[in-house]
Amino acid sequence: MPNRVFITGIGAITPIGVGREELWRGALEGRRAVQRIDRFDPSPFRSQVAGQVNDFDPTWVLERKEARRTERFSQFAIAAAQMAFDDAGYTPRRGDPDVGIWIGSALGGVVYAEHEYEAYLRRGLGAVHPMLALSVFGAASCCNVAIHFGLHGPSVSNANSCAAGAVAIGDAFRAVRDGLCRAALAGGVEVPLGPLTFGAFDIIRAMSTRNDDPAGASRPFDAERDGFVMAEAACLLLLEREDDVLARGAVPYAEIAGYGLTNDADHMTAPRADAREAARAILTALREAGVAPASVDHLNAHGSATSLNDPTESKAIRAVFGSHADALLVSAIKGMMGHALGATGAVEAALCALGIRETTVVPLVNLKAPGPGCDLRYAPATPTPLRQRVVVSNSFGFGGINAALVFRAP
Q: Round to whole Å and give the CA distance between 308 and 270.
A: 7
Catalytic residue from among 115, 148, 298, 339:
339
Q: Round to whole Å and give the CA distance between 308 and 373.
A: 10
Whether 162 is a known active-site residue: answer yes
Q: Round to whole Å and give the CA distance between 83 and 139.
A: 20
Per DSSP, the three-state class of 250 is coil
Strands 298-300 and 390-397: parallel
Polymer length in residues for the chain:
410
Q: Which residues contact 354 (CB under 8 A, 6 or more apart)?
A: 10, 20, 23, 24, 27, 253
Provide the H-helix boundaries in 46-109.
Answer: 64-69, 72-88
Catalytic residue from among 115, 148, 298, 302:
302
Taking every pair of C-alpha atoms in the chain, what is the biggest distance, in angstroms? 64
Q: Round to whole Å and give the CA distance between 391 and 376.
A: 16
Catalytic residue from among 142, 162, 181, 374:
162
Exposed / middle / buried, residue 143 (Cβ in 10 Å: 0-12, 13-18, 19+):
middle
Whether 302 is a known active-site residue: answer yes
Whether 181 is a known active-site residue: answer no
**Catalytic residue numbers?**
162, 302, 339
